[in-house]
Amino acid sequence: MEKKLWKDHCVLLNKDEENELEIFGYKTQGWRRVFCTAGYILSCGALLLLFYWKPEWDVWANCICCSLEEADVVLLRTTDEFQRYTRKKVTWIDLSTLALPVGSNSDGRLVADKDSVINRAVMKPQLKIRCIQVQKIRYIWDFSVKEFKKVGSLEDSNTCQSIHHKFGAGLTREEQKIRQLVCGPNAIKVEIRPIWKLLFKEILNPFYVFQAFTLTLWLSQGYIEYSMAIIILSIISVGLTVYDLRQQSTKLHDLVEEHNKVQVTVCTKSEGCKELESCYLVPGDMFLLDGKKLSLPCDAILIDGTCIVNEGMLTGESVPVTKTPLPLVESLMPWKTHSMEDYRRHVLFCGTEVIQTKATGKGPARAIVLQTGFNTAKGDLVRSILYPKPVNFKLYRDAFKFIVGLSVIGVFGLIYTVCVFVSHGKPVADVVTMALLLLTAAVPPAIPAALTTGTVYAQRRLKKKKIFCISPQRINICGQINLVCFDKTGTLTEDGLDLWGIIPSEGSRFQKIHKFPSSTPLPWGPVCGAMASCHSLVVLDKKIQGDPLDLKMFEGTHWEIEDCSTAQDGAGALNICVVRPGMKASSAPVEGIAILHQFPFSSGLQRMSVVSQKIGEEQYDLYMKGAPEIVSSFCRQDTVPVNFLKELKTYTSQGFRVIALAHKVLNLGKDVDVNSLEREEAESELVFLGLLVMENRLKQETKPVLRELAAARIRSVMVTGDNLQTAVTVARNAGMIHTGSKVILIEAKEPEGSAPASIAWRLAEDCKANTAAPRVCANTEEKITLEGETYNYHFAMNGKSYQVIIKYFYNLLPKILVNATVFARMSPGQKSSLVEEFQKLDYYVGMCGDGANDCGALKMAHAGISLSEQEASVASPFTSQIPNIQCVPELIREGRAALVASFAVVKYLTLYGLIQFVGTALLFWQLQIFGNHQYLIQDVIITLLVCLTMSLTEAYPKLAPYRPPGQLISPPLLLSIILNVCFTIAMQTCGFLLVKQQPWYVALASQRHCSPGNQTVPPTSPGENATSSGPQSTVLSYEDTTLWPLSSINCIIVAFVFSKGKPFRKPIYTNYVFSVLLALQLAICLFLFFADIDAVYSGMQFLCTPVIWRVYVLLMLLVTFCVSLFTEDVILQNKHLWLLIKALFGYQSNSQYRKWQRMLQSDPSWPPLNAKDIGAKSTDEIYINPTYENSDEE
Active site residues: 487
The C-alpha atoms of residue 988 and residue 1138 are separated, in whole angstroms, by 30
The identity of residue 1041, as a single letter, is T
Report whether 118 contacts 140 (CB < 8 A).
Answer: yes
Q: What angle do CA 340, 344, 348 make, to 5 degrees?
A: 155
The H-or-E segment that residue 213 falls in is helix 206-220
CA 430 to chain centre: 52
863-866 and 845-849 as β-strands: parallel, antiparallel, unpaired?
Answer: parallel
Q: Please list the alpha-helical segments (H only) found in 424-473.
A: 428-442, 447-464
Report whether 155 contacts 117 (CB < 8 A).
Answer: yes
DSSP letter (8 states) at residue 360: B
Nearest alpha carbon to residue 477 among 163, 103, 877, 146: 877
Measured between alpha carbons, how far is residue 191 from residues 29, 88, 245, 253, 297 in Å?
33, 19, 12, 7, 18
The C-alpha atoms of residue 840 and residue 1151 are separated, in whole angstroms, by 10
Report whether 287 contacts 369 (CB < 8 A).
Answer: yes
Report whether 1066 contacts 1124 (CB < 8 A).
Answer: no
The C-alpha atoms of residue 886 and residue 359 are separated, in whole angstroms, by 46
Measured between alpha carbons, how far is residue 207 from residues 88, 212, 518, 834 in Å?
26, 9, 71, 38
Q: How is 641-710 classified by DSSP, letter by letter?
A: -TTHHHHHHHHHTTT-EEEEEEEEEE---TT--GGG--HHHHSSSBEEEEEEEEE-PBPTTHHHHHHHHH
Report whether 425 contacts 381 (CB < 8 A).
Answer: no
Nearest alpha carbon to residue 1104 among 1041, 1166, 1151: 1041
Measured between alpha carbons, how far is residue 414 from residues 215, 351, 441, 917, 1040 in Å?
17, 60, 10, 11, 20
Nearest alpha carbon to residue 915 among 444, 224, 365, 295: 444
Report whether 1004 contacts 1022 (CB < 8 A).
Answer: yes
Report whether 978 contacts 1127 (CB < 8 A).
Answer: no
The C-alpha atoms of residue 1052 and residue 945 are separated, in whole angstroms, by 11
Nearest alpha carbon to residue 277 among 288, 292, 266, 293: 266
DSSP letter (8 states) at residue 1004: S
The C-alpha atoms of residue 192 and residue 203 are separated, in whole angstroms, by 19
Q: 10 Å Cβ neighbour count for 1040? A: 27
The identity of residue 152, as a single letter, is G
Dmax (CA) of the chain: 128
The C-alpha atoms of residue 23 and residue 353 are separated, in whole angstroms, by 38
Measured between alpha carbons, how far is residue 1194 from residues 13, 17, 341, 762, 953 in Å?
19, 11, 10, 33, 41
Report whether 806 contacts 1188 (CB < 8 A).
Answer: yes
Report whether 209 contacts 46 (CB < 8 A).
Answer: no
Q: Tell me whether residue 1101 is exposed, middle or buried, using C-beta atoms within 10 angstroms of its C-beta: 0 to 12, 13 to 18, 19 or more.
A: buried
Taking 3-state DSSP, the helix, strand and coil percentages for the chain, each rounded to the nearest 5, stand at 45, 20, 35
